[in-house]
Amino acid sequence: MRIFTASVIIAVVSLGTPAFVQAQGTPSQPQTQPAQTPPAQSSPIIRSIQVVDLKDLKPAVRAKVDEVVAHTSEDDLQSLRKSIDATPEAASALKAKGLSSSQVVAINIADGVLTMFTKTA
């Protein structure tokens, strides 16, 4: 799990690349799998950001995200949130939805899309 988190943190920190595009609207159901690990040898290029609330997910996808969250340490989660705060594009996407990094419980990077899964009260 630490390798996954480290890869995700590295990917989030590298969001400042020129290929990055400002956050786009969120579809009602993401097409991504939350437990996928990006390749360790290269950082993925992020083209868009989605912010998805856990309550908006289909039960099967939500169960997968909940499983990832259950196996993530608080230290890893705090490190991820710090990386999000240090990345203006990611922080801006959250702010546009009225959210903050403290509400992010998991992320996924697939096909150039960074999906941040949030949990609200």
Q: What pLDDT is recorded for position 40?
A: 52
State the DSSP string of 3-68. HHHHHHHHHHHGGGSTT-----PPPSS----TT----TTSPPPP-EEEEEEGGGS-HHHHHHHHHH
pTM check: above 0.85: no
> What's the pLDDT tens digit per position in 41-98?
566 788 999 999 999 999 999 999 999 899 999 999 999 999 999 999 999 999 999 9
